[in-house]
Structures are given as C-alpha cells and as structure tokens.
C-alpha cells in the first residue's frame, strides 16, 4: 500500500529528494505523498526510503490504499514506462 505523511510532519524536506518516484511534494500545510506514485519503493529499494530518513517517524502505511506487492510492482512498471 502507499504510505501517508501524518500531521506530525515538521516540514523538514529530508524525504522529498529521497523518493525514487517523485511521489513526495510540499503540500499546503505539510508534505504529501501522491498515492498514485508511491510504490513503497518496490522496484527501486528493499525499504521505503522516506521512512528511513524521516526524523519524526511520521510516514506509516496508508490503510486507505491497500495494495499487494504484485500491484505495487505493476505500478512501478507503469511509472517507469511513462518516465
């Protein structure tokens, strides 16, 4: 499933450049993840890169965007084909 940034975000900007899918952007009040672009880093890395670097640990999985590993890989293939 995609990940989501909670309102614990301190807008530190550390996660945005780490995302291989450019899924993270500054939102109106805090950083946001586009669920259409987040693959949990499947296809690029073994672990979600944003979670690794976030200093306040505010990027859990989004229960509103449940996806299987196969669906995440399919999303990765669509994103990279379009790039």
Contact between 33 and 5 (Cβ < 8 Å): yes
Q: Is 19 in the site for ligand SF4 (CB under 6 A)?
A: yes
Residue 63 Cβ, how far from ligand SF4 at the closest point, in Å? Answer: 15
Q: Assess 72 for contact with ligand SF4 (CB under 6 A).
A: no
Cβ atoms of 62 and 3 within 8 Å: the answer is yes
Out of 1, 4, 5, 64, the only residue in the binding site for ligand SF4 (CB under 6 A) is 5
A 10 A CB-CB count for 51 gives 17
Site string for ligand SF4, 20-59 (x = CB under 6 A): -x-xx------x-x----xxxx------xxx--xx-x-xx
13 binds ligand SF4 (CB under 6 A): yes
CB of 52 to ligand SF4, least distance (A): 8
- DSSP 8-state class, residue 32: E
Cα 32 to Cα 46: distance, rounded to the nearest angstrom: 22
């Amino acid at each position: 499933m995609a990940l989501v940034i909670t309102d614990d975000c301190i807008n530190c900007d550390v996660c945005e450049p780490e995302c291989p899918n450019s899924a993270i952007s500054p939102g109106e009040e805090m950083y946001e993840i586009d669920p259409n672009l987040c693959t949990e880093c499947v296809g690029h890395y073994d672990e979600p890169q944003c979670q690794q670097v976030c200093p306040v640990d505010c990027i859990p999985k989004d229960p509103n965007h449940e996806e299987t590993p196969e669906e995440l890989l399919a999303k990765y293939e669509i994103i990279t084909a379009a790039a």
